[in-house]
Amino acid sequence: MQLFVNDLTVIDFSYLCKDRGVVGESWIVDVVLSGDLNAESMVLDFGIVKKQIKAIIDDAVDHKLLLPTNDENLFIENSGRDKHVYVDFYPVQLSSIHLQSPQCAFAQIPDDKITEEAVTRYLTGVIKAQLPENVKAIELTLRPEAIDGFYYHYTHGLKKHDGNCQRIAHGHRSKINLYENSIRSLSLEKKWCSRWQDIYLATDSDAINQQQVELSERGRQDLSSDHQCFSYYAPQGRFDIAIKDNLEVVDCDSTVELLADYIARQLKAEHPDNSYKVVAFEGVGKGAISHV
C-alpha cells in the first residue's frame, strides 16, 4: 500500500557549487510512503506525515548551507567557538568563499556536488531512520517551482531573526514582478534577475574589516584585498563570511519586505517621474509588495 502527499513542504537553502559559488535555492518536496497498514488501517497518519516528516526534512536541510563533502575544493574544520565550524571553499571559476558559523547552519551532503539526487539520497536516509516499522520505503521528489518568466537565486542572512533565517548563508530561488506606471515590465524583471543571479546580498551595517573577521588560518591566508567581510551575532551564535564575487551590499536588512523596498527605491532613483510596484518573492508562494 502507498500513501502520498504532494507539496509537503518547501525547503529554502543555499549550497556551494564549484561553478557558481554560493547558490540560493528553493525546492518543493513531494513524498510517497510504502508499507503495511497499521492498527489504524493506515500506512501512516496524514497528520504525522505533514507534521513530523516535514519537521525532519526542515531540520535536516531547510535554511542551511549545503556542503558537498566529497568536493576536493571544500575544507571543514572546528573553529575556536563551541559547536562552530570553519568552511573554506574554492570554486573553479570564482574567488574563494570563507565562513565561520554554528554547526547547525550547515548540512554535510556526502557527494561531490549538490544535486536533487544527492539531497534526495541524504534526506531519504535521515527520514527512514525515524519511520515506524510498518513503513517499508519512502520516495521523495525534490523539484523547483515551475516559473513562467524570470527568476534569480540569492543568498543572505537575517541577524535579527530568532529562527533559522539568522543563518548567514541560506537562500531562495525567487521570481519577481515589476510594474512601471501600472504596466508590467518584463525588461525590468529580466534586468534585475540578471543582476541578482546567484547573488550574495549583504547588509552594509554588518561589514567588518579583514582584521576583525573570524576565519580559519587557511581562509585568512587566502583573502585578497577585494574580499569583503561581514559578521554578526544572533541567538544561535556568531556568523562570519568573506566573499568577493557575485556580491551586492544593500543599505538595509535583507528581509523580503526591505528588498522589495530597495528595488523600488533603485528604480525610482533612475526615473523619478515614474511610479513603480515591486512584487518580490521569497522562495515559493510568499513575498512582499512595495509601491513608490
CA distance 3 to 51: 15
Domains of the chain and CATH, by start: 2-173+201-247 (3.30.479.10)
264, 274 Cβ separation under 8 angstroms: no
Q: Report the pLDDT value the prediction gives residue 46, as an integer from 0 to 100.
A: 63
Q: What is the pLDDT of residues 252-281, one digit of tens each?
A: 999 999 999 999 999 999 999 999 999 999
Q: What percent of the chain has pLDDT over 90?
A: 86
Give the DSSP letter of residue 20: T
Query: Treating both helix axes as pointing N-terminal to C-terminal, what angle do 54-61 and 116-128 enclose, rounded to 10 degrees?
Result: 130
Amino acid at 68: P
Output the average pLDDT for the chain.
Answer: 94
